[in-house]
């Protein structure tokens, strides 16, 4: 197995985000017969987003299991299976539907190790798409990364590209703690370089996706597209932006964030969620608490507007973080006119 930091030494091929996830699950199922996949339409239909395409044919109906529309029920089955030595992967068709199962996630999976005095672990992965996916309106467009990250006992992973997704999902499946693995419907078709060789990416390690000198952008998940596009736009104006991809939001790699902020002295946090009690709030607090003397400007956040996501595409554009809002925020921390 190759460590994650030797990417430059590997033979790469280009695959889709969904294919990277499928490879991660399939490789771990071949490696460990305790691993199985369960969720709505994961088997006969090959997955609602074709992430599990072909897995039923390879692993059979005992390890790739279609469920009724009953998230509380099959999440509970997964928790019980994990407590009895298996390693379930529970797919939610969207994390909006995980709210039906949140009692099992929070009150069972997350607390099992603590409440059993260390006698039971709960090695389970809850995975599926998070956030907006276009014109799906309020109930299907929410970001609950900060909700789950608020709960001790859970790890929360939000990858931004196929390479990270595969390495982090394999690490999540092998982890002995419950992991919330959050993807995006809008990213399943994204393509990126992924090696043929096996590799893992440790949970809790951020990655600097772009080096810069003038200002730091911190983000994660599909908002990395906004962050990187804003950095590219500002490069045309000779503004050098460093982009940090958190990759996991529990635990958060504050060390990497602070190292970048101490270099650039300015920071903008881009997050798709609502602003109150968000991951960006936690980043802002930690930066001012541990790098206050390095800051040349207050921390600025770019988040979703504090409303349920509208249906109309014009209002969606106005509500979500975008390149224009991010560029404006960066110029604000640099005391330049937008």
Active centre residues (catalytic):
71, 140
127 contacts 183 by C-beta, under 8 angstroms:
yes
Q: Which residue, among 307, 228, 321, 320, has the nearest Cα to 270 in the 3D structure?
A: 321
105 contacts 98 by C-beta, under 8 angstroms:
yes
Q: Which residue, among 71, 14, 9, 5, has the nearest Cα to 38 in the 3D structure?
A: 71
Helices (H) and strands (E) in the chain, counts: 12, 16
CA 301, 305, 309, 312 dihedral sign is: negative
Q: Which residues pair with 157 in a beta bridge?
A: 181, 248
Tell me the C-alpha distance between 45 and 87, whole Å. Answer: 23
Question: What Rg value do the Cα atoms of the chain yield, rounded?
Answer: 20
Those residues with Cβ within 8 angstroms of residue 71's Cβ, 6 or more apart along the chain or in another chain: 92, 97, 98, 100, 101
Q: 95-100 contacts: CB < 8 A, separation 24 or more?
A: 95/128, 95/129, 95/130, 95/142, 95/144, 95/182, 96/139, 96/140, 96/141, 96/142, 96/144, 97/71, 97/128, 98/71, 98/126, 98/128, 98/144, 99/144, 100/71, 100/72
207 contacts 257 by C-beta, under 8 angstroms:
no
Q: Which residue, among 59, 42, 50, has the nearest Cα to 19 in the 3D structure?
A: 50
229 contacts 196 by C-beta, under 8 angstroms:
no
Those residues with Cβ within 8 angstroms of residue 223's Cβ, 6 or more apart along the chain or in another chain: 160, 270, 271, 272, 321
């Amino acid at each position: 197995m190759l460590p994650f930091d030797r990417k430059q030494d590997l033979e790469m091929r280009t695959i889709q985000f969904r294919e990277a996830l499928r490879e991660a699950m399939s490789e771990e199922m071949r490696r460990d017969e305790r691993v199985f996949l369960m969720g709505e339409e994961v088997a006969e239909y090959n997955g609602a987003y074709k992430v599990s395409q072909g897995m039923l044919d390879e692993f059979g109906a005992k390890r790739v299991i279609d469920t009724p529309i009953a998230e509380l029920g099959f999440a509970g089955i997964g928790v019980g299976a994990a407590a009895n030595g298996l390693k379930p992967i529970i797919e939610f068709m969207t994390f909006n539907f995980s709210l039906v199962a949140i009692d099992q996630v929070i009150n069972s999976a997350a607390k099992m190790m603590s409440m059993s005095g260390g006698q039971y672990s709960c090695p389970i992965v809850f995975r599926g798409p998070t956030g907006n996916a276009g014109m799906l309106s309020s109930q299907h467009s929410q970001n609950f990364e900060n909700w789950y990250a608020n709960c001790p006992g859970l790890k929360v992973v939000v990858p931004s590209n196929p390479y990270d997704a595969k390495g982090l999902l394999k690490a999540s499946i092998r982890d002995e703690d419950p992991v919330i693995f959050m993807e995006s419907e809008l990213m399943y078709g994204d393509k990126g370089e992924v090696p043929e060789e096996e590799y893992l990416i440790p949970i809790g390690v951020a990655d600097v996706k772009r080096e810069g000198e003038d200002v730091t952008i911190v983000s994660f998940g599909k908002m990395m597209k906004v962050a990187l596009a804003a950095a590219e736009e500002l490069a045309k104006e000779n503004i050098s932006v460093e982009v940090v991809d958190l990759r996991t939001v529990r635990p958060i790699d504050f060390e990497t964030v602070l190292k970048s902020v101490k270099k650039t002295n300015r920071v903008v946090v881009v997050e798709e969620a609502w602003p109150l009690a968000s991951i960006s709030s936690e980043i802002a607090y930690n930066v001012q608490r541990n790098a206050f003397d390095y800051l040349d400007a207050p921390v600025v956040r770019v988040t979703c507007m504090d409303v349920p996501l509208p249906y109309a595409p014009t209002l969606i554009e106005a509500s979500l973080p975008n390149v224009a809002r991010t560029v404006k925020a960066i110029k604000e921390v640099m005391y330049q006119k937008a």
